[in-house]
């Protein structure tokens, strides 16, 4: 098993990658620092994309760090509203990941300057405009960033709304919840199952339900249920809600 810990530098911030059997795992604390997600909660991620791994700190002491897989990294990145997130994602997918898959490690410690960052942001915006043109010319095919549709990563309904806005659909979290209820994908009746996936949605494998146990101050435990959109669901709803070309 290859466990190469490889640091690289993005806009003067170190992000460490652990290559495990040729696959990249990212140190979660480094990702959240670069992406400005100081309040990020690791329990938002599914068990399959997150684990603990021994990593030496700056003094050489072994610390048990939380690392996330490539799918987990995408889920973390999509939560960031910083302009740098697009450049970070593009650099990771176009340069770092291909080299890790090819060699099991990243060949150099890279430094991104501010001018590099500005260039990549501009290139990312130009690329986004080209993708939008392709959507209009080739409806109902919809471009879905970073191969999330084929991954095991799940996202919240609010994050799906953000992706839909990126595809030119003006909708927010509350309006999307209402739309999903009206169209029979989420339960609309008031009660403990409100906003949970309907039987139809579960049979189509569009959602998973994440259950989180919450221990209250008096000792009793309740279970919080959250609907999360699967990769298949993300692709389904983007194609469903993207306007077709005239």
Looking from the CA of 187 toward its CB, the CA atoms found within 13 Å total: 15
Cis peptide before 31 (omega within 30 of 0): no
Q: Which position has the higher pLDDT, 10 or 88? A: 88
Residue 154: per-residue pLDDT? 86
pLDDT at 14 over 60: yes
Highest mean pLDDT among 46-60, 73-87, 226-240: 226-240
CB 176 within 8 A of CB 155: no
Residue 194 pLDDT:
92
SS3 219: coil
Report yes or no: 142 and 245 within 8 Å, Cβ to Cβ: no
Counting residues of the chain whose pLDDT is more than 90, the rounded percentage is 18
* Tokens, residue 189: 């009746």
Strands (E), the chain: 3-10, 13-20, 23-27, 50-56, 62-68, 155-156, 207-215, 221-229
- Residue 237: beta bridge partners? none
- The set of residues, in sequence order, having a beta carbon less than 8 Å from that of 102 and lying 6+ positions away, is none
**pLDDT digit string, tens, across residues 121-159:** 566 666 666 666 665 555 444 444 444 445 567 899 999
More confident residue, 13 or 65: 65
CB 194 within 8 A of CB 181: no
- φ/ψ of 2, rounded to 5, equals -90, 125
Bigger pLDDT: 220 or 116? 220
* pTM for the structure as a whole: 0.41
Q: How confident is the model at residue 185, as a pLDDT?
A: 95
Across 14-30, b (16+ Cβ under 10 Å) vs e yields ebbbbbbeeebbbbbbb
Find all residues with CB under 8 Å of 58, minimum gap 6, and list them: none
**Is the pLDDT score of 107 beyond 70?**
no
| pLDDT tens per residue across span 38-62 | 777 777 787 788 898 888 766 777 8
User: Which residue(s) pair with 197 in the sheet?
Assistant: 186
Instruction: In whole angstroms, give the CA distance from residue 45 to residue 23.
Output: 18
Dist CA 188 CA 182 (whole Å): 8
Q: Closest Cα partner for 244 from 150, 136, 133, 155? A: 136
Q: What mean pLDDT comes out for the span 171-188?
A: 94
CB within 8 Å of 136: residues ≥ 6 apart:
245
Residue 19: pLDDT band with limits 50, 70, 90 = confident
The distance of Cα 68 from the centroid of its chain, to the nearest Å, equals: 11
d(CA 148, CA 165) in angstroms, rounded, equals 16
pLDDT of residue 153: 78
Q: Using the predicted structure, report yes or no on whether residue 98 has a pLDDT greater than 60.
A: yes
């Amino acid at each position: 098993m290859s466990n190469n810990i490889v640091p690289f530098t993005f806009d003067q911030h170190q992000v460490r990658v652990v290559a495990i059997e040729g696959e990249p795992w990212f140190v979660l604390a480094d990702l959240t620092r670069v992406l400005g997600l100081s309040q990020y909660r690791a329990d938002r991620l599914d068990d399959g994309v997150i684990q603990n791994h021994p990593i030496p700190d700056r003094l050489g002491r072994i610390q048990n760090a939380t690392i996330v897989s490539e799918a987990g990294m995408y889920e973390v990145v999509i939560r960031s509203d910083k302009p740098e997130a697009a450049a970070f994602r593009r650099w990771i997918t176009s340069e770092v990941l291909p080299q890790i898959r090819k060699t099991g490690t990243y060949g150099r410690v890279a430094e991104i300057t501010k001018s590099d960052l500005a260039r990549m942001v501009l290139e990312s915006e130009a690329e986004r405009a080209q993708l939008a043109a392709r959507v209009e010319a080739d409806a109902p095919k919809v471009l879905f960033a970073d191969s999330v549709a084929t991954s095991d990563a799940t996202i919240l309904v609010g994050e799906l709304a953000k992706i839909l806005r990126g595809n030119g659909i003006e909708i927010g979290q509350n309006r999307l919840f209402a739309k999903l209820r009206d169209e029979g994908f989420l339960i609309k009746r008031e009660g403990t199952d409100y906003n949970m996936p309907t039987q139809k949605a579960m049979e189509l494998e569009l959602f998973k339900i994440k259950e989180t146990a919450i221990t209250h101050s008096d000792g009793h435990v309740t279970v919080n249920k959250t609907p999360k959109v699967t990769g298949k669901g993300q692709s389904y709803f983007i194609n469903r809600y993207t306007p077709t070309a005239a």
